[in-house]
Amino acid sequence: MNGGAALLWLACGLGVAAVGVLRFAWSLPHRSAAWNSAGWAALAACVLCGGWSAGAWGVSVAALCTMAAAFAVLAVAGWRAPPGKATGSNRRMGMLPEPGEPHIGRRLVTFLLVMPGGLLAALAIALAVRGSGLALGWGEANANVGGLFAVPLAWGVLCTILLMQARRGQAITLLVCGVAGAPFIVGGMGA
Amino acid sequence: MKLVPSSSTVKNALGAHAAIGLLAGALLYLVCLSGTVLVFYQEWQRAEQSDAPEMAQISPDAVQRGVEAVMASERGKPATTHLYIHLPVAKLPRTTITTDSQAVHLDAAGNVASPEENGWSEFLYALHYTLHLPGLYGMTVVGVLGMLMLALSLSGLIAHPKIFRDAFRLRARHRGGVGLSDWHNRLSVWTLPFGLAIGLTGAVIGLGSVTVYVVADRYYGGDVAAVYATVFGKEAKPDPAKAPLPDVAAALRYMQAHYPQVAVTYATLHDPGTAGQHVQIAGDHPRRLIFGEYYNFDAEGRFEGSAGLADGAIGQQAAASNYKLHFGNFGGLPVKIAYALFGLALTVVCATGVYIWLGKRQRRGVSEPRLRAAWNGVIWGAPAALLVTLAARFALGNAAPFTTIFWSFLAGAILVSVVRGRPAPRGSHGPDRLR
């Protein structure tokens, strides 16, 4: 077995061990910083060893091993779970109006702000990432790919933030994104 | 220091999580379900046409003969702009040539053996990639769904401050909604790295066209190809003047001699039969996430250089790593099985999310039997519709109208479920744990 393969096995082993340690730590009646840290440290070591063994490929394989181990532990927990009748949450989400709540118009505005508005803001951020990358000497390929990755990441984060905010906060968030992208959209930066 | 969000933050995040889940629920479910089945894309292709010639390898001269035979069969037709030669690899040991108008299998000697017949696999691929919507529109919609997966992961984490602490707590047999929430939350948290990877790579692939269009419009005079060229390398300038077919065999021999560790997966002939033609060979690198490196050759098979996907800028390597990471074809059958398992878990997460929301409303006295019935129709109708299309493939053949069958069956399943959905006395309809 060569060094890379041994490291990959070690990464997978650390991932499985991390699941076991965290399972133990989170089952304790009181929070144990030591056991929690040990579990998270094993996870971090798993990622590092995976990376050392074969870069992103090694990290991916080690992550799959770790998740598979967690699923196995979870399956045992589900199998052993006794029947119960605890009442689930009935907390309101406010997604659909309940009887007597004619708020469809407000929800439509929220949709427009989050989806088309969020996309435009994310594109502004992407242009800013690309332009800033070029200014920092990333090179054209890195800057363009930075922009490609920035759109879904920024839009996903914006989606969450905008839906958690009141209308005024939403306006400020979108404005900040617009200002960040303005030098690259209307100015000549990033060319 | 503890990072515990305030109760109002948790409440707002839960609202955001529900809003995104309900907005995307059904389509996200379809994309996750089809993606789970699509993990075995190559295996489905082999099952669809089990009598297609298979081989561990094919000689460069046989490939050249195959290219010439296929091009000869297209005389008098509009000239193909791209000719793809899919070379035998372990997961799909076949040689297939695809042009703008046909796809055929070659035998090991390079003779055209039979037309490619993988209609169901392509139907499944299109369902996952575009939801059967037209080209770029479909890809963009699916890209948006990938972005929403990221948003769901983020809002779900904020909305459940104890989600890690409870990561092994699965009250699977609890009724009254608790069991359902536990399944949803546990599967979500343990598929989080997978969900983030799938969501991000899917969103980058799907939304890439929109981003590239904007960047091209702003900085490249509207030339979309010029933006892609910075990452994947550029194509040669077209020259439509007639020319003999390129020497693919020479290019393949060069690969065997100079890159023996690289598994050649396919070759692309750009503008074959014209003076502007050139050959691009994709080679798979072992223990890498990149889909491959592009090795470029001129028409005489002389090596001109590689695109840099394997060893170029980090951005090029990251962009090239999107595909294997998304489709799970980077580690043989064990990785595929893991992807199918986690894909199934994500599908269950999509399904249970809406049931949790319906259950909460029901516990507050807002009963919506038809909405629940419609969701039941989606959840059970979609896999049933997939099975019906698969049955149609083997009963009716490759030309069966899979898309029409799938969507008609699914629409019918939802309709029947809604029509049959009646307000039921409490505790008497559907599995109680689904509330």
Tens digits of residue pLDDT in B201-252: 999 999 999 999 999 999 999 999 999 999 999 888 889 999 999 999 999 9
For residue B433, the model assigns a pLDDT of 43
Q: Is the confidence at residue B124, as pLDDT, over 80?
A: yes
For residue A98, the model assigns a pLDDT of 59
Rounded CA separation A122/A114 (Å): 11
**A67 in a domain, yes or no?**
yes
For residue B428, the model assigns a pLDDT of 40
| More confident site: A54 or B170 | A54
Q: How far is CA B12 from CA A56, A105, B29, in A?
A: 35, 20, 24
Query: Closest by alpha carbon to B312, among B258, B238, B233?
Result: B233
| More confident site: B10 or B283 | B283
For residue B430, the model assigns a pLDDT of 43
Q: Is the confidence at residue A95, as pLDDT, over 60?
A: no
Query: Closest by alpha carbon to B91, among B153, B40, B35, B145?
Result: B40
pLDDT digits (tens, 9 = 90+) for B21-34: 888 999 999 999 99
- Is B289 in contact with A56 (Cβ distance < 8 A)? yes
**A86 in a domain, yes or no?**
no
What sign has the CA pseudo-torsion B390, B391, B396, B397?
positive
| More confident site: B328 or A105 | B328
Query: Looking at the structure, do residues A180 and A109 belong to the same domain, yes or no?
Result: yes
For residue B435, the model assigns a pLDDT of 43
**A88 in a domain, yes or no?**
no
Element (H, E) at B296: strand B293-297
Query: Looking at the structure, do residues A17 and A74 belong to the same domain, yes or no?
Result: yes
pLDDT digits (tens, 9 = 90+) for A127-152: 999 999 999 999 999 999 999 999 99
Query: Chain A residues with CB inside 8 Å of B289's CB?
Result: 55-57, 60
**A49 in a domain, yes or no?**
yes
Biggest alpha carbon distance in chain A? Answer: 69
Q: Which residues face A87 on adjacent strands?
A: B177
HSE-CB at B114 with a 13 A cutoff on CA atoms is: 10
Q: What value does the mean pLDDT take over residues A184-190? A: 74
The answer to which of A17-26, A47-56, A96-105 has the lowest mean pLDDT is A96-105
**A179 in a domain, yes or no?**
yes
Query: Looking at the structure, do residues A110 and A72 belong to the same domain, yes or no?
Result: no
pLDDT digits (tens, 9 = 90+) for B57-77: 999 999 999 999 999 999 888
pLDDT digits (tens, 9 = 90+) for B380-406: 999 999 999 999 999 999 999 999 999
**A98 in a domain, yes or no?**
no
Give B321-381 as a DSSP string.
THHHHHHT-SSHHHHHHHHHHHHHHHHHHHHHHHHHHHHHHHHTT---HHHHHHHHHHHHH
Helix, coil or strand: residue B294: strand
Rounded CA separation B104/B108 (Å): 13
Query: Looking at the structure, do residues A73 and A141 belong to the same domain, yes or no?
Result: no
The alpha carbon of residue A13 is apart from the nearest alpha carbon of chain B, in Å, by 16
Query: Closest by alpha carbon to B163, among B197, B186, B193?
Result: B186
| More confident site: B266 or B433 | B266
pLDDT digits (tens, 9 = 90+) for B332-362: 999 999 999 999 999 999 999 999 988 888 8
| More confident site: B8 or A100 | B8
The nearest alpha carbon in chain B to A184 belongs to B218
Q: Which residues face B115 on adjacent strands?
A: B104
Element (H, E) at B25: helix B7-38
Query: Looking at the structure, do residues A46 and A114 belong to the same domain, yes or no?
Result: no
For residue B179, the model assigns a pLDDT of 84
pLDDT tier at B2 (50, 70, 90 boundaries)? low
pLDDT digits (tens, 9 = 90+) for B82-114: 999 999 999 999 999 999 999 999 999 999 999
Of A27, A123, A141, the CB nearest to B312: A141
Please provide the average confidence, as pLDDT, over all residues in chain B: 92
- Is A64 in contact with B338 (Cβ distance < 8 A)? yes
**A62 in a domain, yes or no?**
yes
Q: Is the confidence at residue A164, as pLDDT, over 60?
A: yes
Rounded CA separation B58/B252 (Å): 10
For residue A90, the model assigns a pLDDT of 62
For residue A167, the model assigns a pLDDT of 87
- The most confident of the ranges A31-35, B13-17, B280-284 is B280-284
User: What's the number of domains chain A is made of?
Assistant: 2
**Domain range for A162:** 105-185
For residue B427, the model assigns a pLDDT of 45
Question: 90-119 in A: which are within 8 Å (CB) of B?
Answer: 90-96, 98-99, 110-111, 115, 119
Element (H, E) at B269: strand B263-270
Rounded CA separation B251/B344 (Å): 42
For residue A100, the model assigns a pLDDT of 58
> Could you say which DSSP state residue B287 is in?
T
**A171 in a domain, yes or no?**
yes
For residue B150, the model assigns a pLDDT of 96
Question: Is residue A173 a contact partner of residue A162, using CB atoms and an 8 Å limit?
Answer: yes
Query: Looking at the structure, do residues A171 and A109 belong to the same domain, yes or no?
Result: yes
- Is A190 in contact with B219 (Cβ distance < 8 A)? yes
The residue out of A38, A65, A80 marking a domain boundary is A80
Query: Chain A residues with CB inside 8 Å of B171's CB?
Result: 81, 84, 86
What sign has the CA pseudo-torsion B139, B144, B146, B147?
positive
pLDDT digits (tens, 9 = 90+) for A32-89: 999 999 999 999 999 999 999 999 999 999 999 999 999 999 988 888 887 776 666 6
Question: 53-82 in A: which are within 8 Å (CB) of B?
Answer: 54-58, 60-61, 63-64, 67-68, 70-71, 73-74, 77-79, 81-82
The nearest alpha carbon in chain A to B197 belongs to A60
pLDDT tier at B421 (50, 70, 90 boundaries)? confident
Give A17-76 as a DSSP string.
HHHHHHHHHTTSSS--HHHHHHHHHHHHHHHHHHHHHHHHHHHHHHHHHHHHHHHHHHHH
Q: Does A2 reach chain B within 8 Å, measured CB to CB?
A: no
